[in-house]
Amino acid sequence: MLRVVLDSNAVDPLIDMLGAAESVRSAIDRGELKVLYTHVTIDELATTPDLDRRQRLILVLAEIGTLVPAGAFVLGYSRLGHGRLMADEDVPTFQALTSGSVDHSRDALIAFTARVEGCALVTNEKRLAARAREQGIEVLTSQQLLRAIGFE
């Protein structure tokens, strides 16, 4: 079974490509795919300016995925009760995922969750993908995920 954690930008193609969300749902129902997401993903989608698009993004994510605690807890970015304490030995990995900038904490939380959950990270953001790969995290784009489940 393919297990993935979705970055917020990985949800857009699921509503933009006709049949993509249904294909993901079908793969989940067949036991071929498990989709996880964190509160960070929801928080980022909630900033989508267009109300209709925002609602569709969040509804699709909630329908296909399972909410899990973020792999770490970062003050100012994590919600109480929705993050995990990080072991001291994991701090360098998390810091590498932020590229040394607190501005990248949200992306790092999502990527670190993939690491903690033993999942692939699905993101369409090239810099996050590169940082995640450097830390040994498997990374897929939305297109690669859709191809993996047989959606063309």
Which domains are seen in the chain, by residue range? Answer: 2-148 (3.40.50.1010)
Residue 31 makes CB contacts below 8 A (sequence gap 6+) with: 1
Instruction: Tell which residue, 87, 88, 68, has the closest CA to residue 78.
Output: 68
Q: Report the C-alpha gap between 145 and 82 in whole angstroms.
A: 26
- Environment class of residue 92 by beta-carbon count within 10 Å: exposed (0-12), middle (13-18) or buried (19+)? exposed
Find the Cα–Cα–Cα–Cα dihedral 76, 105, 53, 140, rounded to 10°: -150
Please state the φ and ψ torsions of residue 146, each to the nearest 5 degrees. Answer: -65, -40
82-118 per-position pLDDT tens digit: 776 677 776 777 687 777 776 788 899 999 999 999 9
Judge contact between 96 and 131, C-beta under 8 A.
Answer: yes
19-45 per-position pLDDT tens digit: 999 999 999 999 999 999 999 999 999
